[in-house]
Amino acid sequence: MATKKDFYEVLGLTKSATLDDIKKAYRTLARKHHPDIDKSPGAAERFKEISEAYQVLSDSEKRKAYDQFGHAAFDRGGAGAGGFGGGNPFGGFRTYTYTSGGPNENFDFGDFQDPFSLFEQFFAGASAGRSRQKSGGDDLYFELTVDFKEAIFGVAKTISLPRQVLCPVCLGTGGEKGAKEETCSTCRGRGQVERVQNSIFGQIMTQTACPTCRGRGKTFSKPCPHCRGEGRVKETVRTEINIPSGIEDGTTIRYPSLGDAGPQGSKAGDLYLTIRVLPSREFSRRGNDIYSEAKVDLPTAVLGGTIKVPTLVEPVKLKIPAGTQSGTEFRLRGLGVPGRGDQFVRVSLLTPTKLSGHDRELWEKLSRKSSEI
């Protein structure tokens, strides 16, 4: 997963940019990459990236926090996180922390707010056909926190996900059993309506899904009483997901068709989980490799020997050659991310702090002998 881009780089600016520079750069890039204009692959994600950068850099307090802490300022409640509803540009969803347990641990995401599209802040619905009001179901965005070992080895979890599902009564059609289909009187069967919106760029004409037939072009003479013609209802669904091994903090995983079901049986949206990894007290990580420290007493460092060192699986024996210096690093092959990384153990020497009279005499003799060499 690529590292998140610097906000100044996204807008093509330097840190000395003025507010006018930021606004000008945003308008230029937004016109170019808005999904209703730019039809190339990845345009929507690019526009989100541009909008997120503008959100931060155009706000003096958020920009100050970003300049001091970088992206960490908006992660998990850092400085300025409130501006993004918990540190995420998609808005007010909750972060749930996992601290113990193993595979198939249950999670309940609880109540959630529909993520607020950054598109709508600046285009007043111009991109609605591609986000919240698209013909299919909405995408869902959540954060999930896993512990260090789970990120290394991967884990399967069962989560309780609040989402829109197909209506069990009409099976997604939106019509009462036996009801006749009719041409929608609002859109006259086209499934779309045109609207003129005022934006910072002037008036923009957009086409959106018809609010009456929700894009189908047809309605039922009698809507389903259970879902009121929507074809879907909100439920909390238990879903098993797999977190792959080696995942890094901040990585977002896409789970196709696990978002909201679409109205009248249309395609479901996707689920996006941003993974947060809890730090470990014993280990650190760089890419696929794991790093740890081990204490070695002076006799072992001088004469050589074997010590036990912790790994993510179980303790292993590590041979210490005679004359090992403090700071020496040893490599344990294959003990990092499975199939991809190693573990590196850095040794530091343990210096005695309390000496008996006899011990002091021995150290003094050793010191005098060393000075004679």
Per-residue pLDDT tens digits for 275-292: 999 999 999 999 999 999
Which pLDDT score is estimated for 201?
61
Q: Which residue has better confidence, 72 or 349?
A: 349
- A 10 A CB-CB count for 187 gives 21
Per the CB < 8 A criterion, the answer to whether 279 and 148 are in contact is yes
Q: Mean pLDDT throughout 66-78?
A: 70
- Does the pLDDT of residue 83 top 70, yes or no? no
Which CATH number is 284-366 given? 2.60.260.20
Q: Mean pLDDT throughout 188-212?
A: 77
Burial state string for 86-111 with b = 16 or more CB within 10 A and e = fewer than 16:
bbbbbbebebeebeeeeeeeebebee
Per the CB < 8 A criterion, the answer to whether 360 and 367 are in contact is no
The predicted-structure confidence for 235-273, as pLDDT tens digits, reads as follows 999 999 999 999 999 899 999 999 999 887 788 999 999
Q: How many residues does the chain have?
A: 373
Q: Which residue has better confidence, 243 or 80?
A: 243
Which pLDDT score is estimated for 320?
95
**In whole angstroms, what is the distance from residue 242 CA to residue 215 CA?**
34
Domain ranges for the chain: 91-278, 284-366
Which pLDDT score is estimated for 95?
31
Q: How confident is the model at residue 202 (pLDDT cuts 50, 70, 90)?
A: low
- A 10 A CB-CB count for 219 gives 24
Structure tokens at 199: 């934006």
Burial state string for 273-282 with b = 16 or more CB within 10 A and e = fewer than 16:
bbbbbeebee
The predicted-structure confidence for 162-178, as pLDDT tens digits, reads as follows 999 999 998 888 888 88
Helix axes 60-69, 43-57, angle to 10 degrees: 100
Which pLDDT score is estimated for 105?
44
Q: Which residue has better confidence, 207 or 6?
A: 6
Homologous superfamily of domain range 91-278: Heat shock protein DnaJ, cysteine-rich domain (2.10.230.10)
Query: Where is average pLDDT lowest: 150-159, 207-216, 263-272, 307-316?
Result: 207-216
